[in-house]
Amino acid sequence: MLINGSERNVLISEILGKIRNKETIPADFRRNLQQIGKYLAYEASRFLDTEEVSIETPLGTADFKRIKDNIVIITILRAAVPMSEGVLEVFDRAQVGIISASRGKQLQKDGKEFQIHSLYGNIPHLDDKIAIVIDPMIASGSTLLFTLREIKNKEPLKIIILCAIASQYGIDRIHEEFPESIIVTGAVDNKLNDKGYIVPGLGDAGDRAFNT
């Protein structure tokens, strides 16, 4: 399943305009990644498990629904850190897992598949839990596929992916191997260049966020 946030919410579209802009400085880039993390978390909330809760008000009793405490937010280092901060503001009772996954050798000349290097991973148990994976960009999909394979072994109830921008090629690769996954993205761009970057995209999210 795919949810395109900018088609549903003009605020997401506006934030995307800011992070796409090459003149946006790193501090503002990080701040807007955090904001888009919040808005995409709201979009993702419809797929989460809820429970009925009763509380006492000053004048009586009221019932409301809340999200169950069965969420694990998985951050792909390093670019996903600002987005994850925004998501955690929404799902503030969630557990957090971290995995490093970065591009290595280009395996195809057209830039559509890469070797992935991972030096660190700390992911909580996912049995009977919903994994929300944060990655600002789904370009070739190689990094995310590596991460999802690691997660799948832990047997989560559901996998939800949040990203600022995705390529159609990357989305198709994810859904081919993980058809049950839910992708919530800010926008879908159709083109990848020969280096595996999304066009028009926003450049390298990690470099722009951390001024490297």
Model confidence over 91-131: pLDDT tens digits? 999 999 999 887 766 766 666 777 777 788 899 999 999 99
Fold held by 2-48+67-210: Rossmann fold (3.40.50)
Pairing of strands 114-117, 137-138: unpaired
- Count of residues making up the chain: 212
Pairing of strands 95-100, 71-77: parallel
Task: Say what the pTM is.
Answer: 0.92
At 73 the three-state DSSP class reads strand
Q: Which whole number is the average pLDDT over 158-172? A: 96
CA-nearest of 84, 115, 119, 120 to 196 is: 115
At 55 the three-state DSSP class reads strand
At 204 the three-state DSSP class reads coil
Indicate if the pLDDT at residue 146 is higher than 80. yes
Q: What is the pLDDT of residue 116?
A: 77
